Homo-oligomer: A and B are copies of this chain.
Amino acid sequence: MAQFVHPASQDITLAGVLAALSDPMRLRIVKSLLGQADCMSCTAAAPCPDMAKSTLSNHFRVLREAGLIRTTKKGVEHQNTVREADLNARFPGLLKAILKHAEEG
């Protein structure tokens, strides 16, 4: 899946993670993804239906480049998952501590 840029887990930075999650839309995307056991397509995880496709795509790119999610292509959809294990290995407890406080939904 060389078409997507996924940083190695040791390259995930604290500032990068915080910057990625500091956008309420992206926080909601990550929360959606964690709520699902399975992968989700971009549109399925979209925080609001009226967001432009390009903007949504951009948010996913930011999350990917920050190392928060991994995207693989399956047919016409892209499957996204939170890189929970990598994140917990790099910054133990951080993701949980942040998402605990993300608004209910």
Binding site for B on A (CB under 8 A): 14-15, 18-19, 21-24, 27, 91, 93-94, 97-98, 100-103
Question: Which B residues lie within 8 Å of A93 (CB)?
Answer: 97, 100
Partner of A98, one of B23, B27, B94, B100: B94
Partner of A14, one of B15, B19, B94, B101: B101
The CA of A18 and the CA of B23, in the complex, are separated in Å by 8
Partner of A19, one of B22, B101, B102: B22
Question: Which B residues lie within 8 Å of A23 (CB)?
Answer: 15, 19
Question: Which B residues lie within 8 Å of A100 (CB)?
Answer: 93-94
Please determine whether B94 and A101 come into contact, CB atoms closer than 8 angstroms: yes
